[in-house]
Amino acid sequence: MWINRLRIYISVACLISTPAYSHELWLEGADYEIAINEKIVSDLKVGQNFQGSTYSFFPDSFQRFDVALAGQVKPVEGRLGNRPAVDINALGEGLNILVYQSNNMIVTYTEFEKFASFVEHKALENALSRHEELEFPKDKFREVYSRYAKSLVGVGNAKGADKAYGLETEIVALKNPYTDDLDDGFDVKVLYQGKPRKNAQVEIYEKKANSEEAAEVFTTTTNDKGIASIDVKPGYVYQLDAVVIRQPAKELAEEKDAVWETLWANMTFATPPS
């Protein structure tokens, strides 16, 4: 028993220490469309390009982990160390949405080039000039970061719609990928503190369903209303990612000894075969 518990703690420690500048966190469904009598099964994963390590259900690692359907919201329940992290009954027929918020985590930069590469990759280049203006150190500094992941699961008729669930930053689907016409794209809105993020980069990871092939990666940008339209293909799985960078609040900065804070919004879903 104690060996299993130790393995769980080691797994979580690895998750907490994963460098923010190079990895996403997402919820990867075993299936994104299921029958009414089937369970919602999803892995909690950390990695790159839709490939990564799988982590266990560990309540001390997250602030929030819910499943939602229309007006219902219920905490995801699981046993300590469960893998997959999600293995639950759906709330009912329709579009069920997994909603996850991690704890605050820390990464320490000892090479400024890695920070510069990260912010450039995520189209957050203004952070570099602010780093200079504020005379933050370059040889060693810390960043606090948190993850905000959602996953869309169609149950039965899969009817329903996504909405904002009050996360500090989140991606909201403006279409239902399982019931709506996607010929003119899959529309999403990117929010920060409940307001649209205009001119925000959305990174898209695209791979064939049930395939081990590497994901194709491309980006788009939200318009003045915080909306982005994404071209999608039938029979594919998608992961969307959008990152906010800011200076942490004074109390958090002092607690974590951090000069930057990043907030990562993520969404996963699939498209039905043609």
pLDDT in tens, 129-178: 999 999 999 999 999 999 999 999 999 999 999 999 999 999 999 999 99
CA distance 194 to 165: 9
170 strand-pairing partners: 191
CA distance 238 to 220: 14
3 state SS of 269 = strand
Of 54, 15, 273, 26, which Cα lies nearest the Cα of 151?
A: 26
Domain coordinates in residue numbering, the chain: 2-270
CA distance 174 to 163: 8
When the pLDDT of each residue in the chain is averaged and rounded to a whole number, the result is 92
pLDDT in tens, 47-77: 998 999 999 999 999 999 999 999 899 999 9
CA distance 5 to 18: 20
Percent of the chain with pLDDT over 90: 88
Report if pTM > 0.85.
Answer: yes
CA distance 158 to 72: 15
Residue 229 φ/ψ, nearest 5 degrees: -110, 125
CA distance 219 to 243: 12
Average pLDDT of span 252-265: 97
